[in-house]
Amino acid sequence: MPHMEKDEPHNIDIQTQVNYLPEQSDEAGNRFVFSYTITITNHGSSTAKLVSRHWIITDANHHVQEVRGQGVVGEQPLLKPSQSFEYTSGTVLATQVGTMRGSYQMQAEDGEQFEIEIPQFVLSVPRVLH
C-alpha cells in the first residue's frame, strides 16, 4: 500500500550539511571545529514541536560525547505541516574525522511525544578524505 505515508501524522525529514572551520581550528593542538546546518521539515499531517535533542558525537579515537538539551539553538521550534526549520550549530573534535547521530524528541499538538532519529553524518577535515 504505497499511499500509507500520506496519512502519517509524524513524518519529519532531517537534512544535514557540515562545514569544517579551519579558522577556528587548531590542527597542531588537535582541535577541529565543525559547523553543521540542520533542516527539519514536517511532512506529516500534524503540527509538532521540537522539545529536546540528544546527540552522540564520536571521534576517530572512539571518544564519545553525549549532548542532551532543551530545544535547538535556544528555541523549541513549532513546525506546522510542510513547514521547515533550519539552524546551524557547531562541535569540536580532537580528531580530523568523526561522526554525529542522535534524535529529536518531538511533541504533537495532542500532547503525544515521539522521537525522530537523526541519521548519522560524518564530520571530516576536507583533505583527509582525498
**Could you give all domains of the chain from N- to C-terminal order, each with its CATH number?**
4-124 (2.60.40.1470)
- Give CA–CA dist 64/123, Å, rounded: 14
Residues 23-74: tens digit of each pLDDT: 999 999 999 999 999 999 999 999 999 999 999 999 999 999 999 999 999 9
Smallest CA-to-CA distance from 102 within 117, 124, 85 is with 117
Tell the residue number behind the cell numbers 539552524, with chain if given. 87
User: Do residues 60 and 97 lie in contact, with contact meaning Cβ atoms separated by under 8 Å?
Assistant: yes
How far CA 13 is from CA of 20, 26, 54, in Å, comes to 24, 34, 17
pLDDT greater than 80 at residue 8:
no
- Residue 106 C-alpha cell reads as 518531538
Work out the percent of the chain whose per-residue pLDDT is above 90.
89
DSSP string for 3-19: TGGGG-S--EEEEEEEE
Residue with cell 574525522: 97
Which grid coordinates belong to 78?
Answer: 513549532
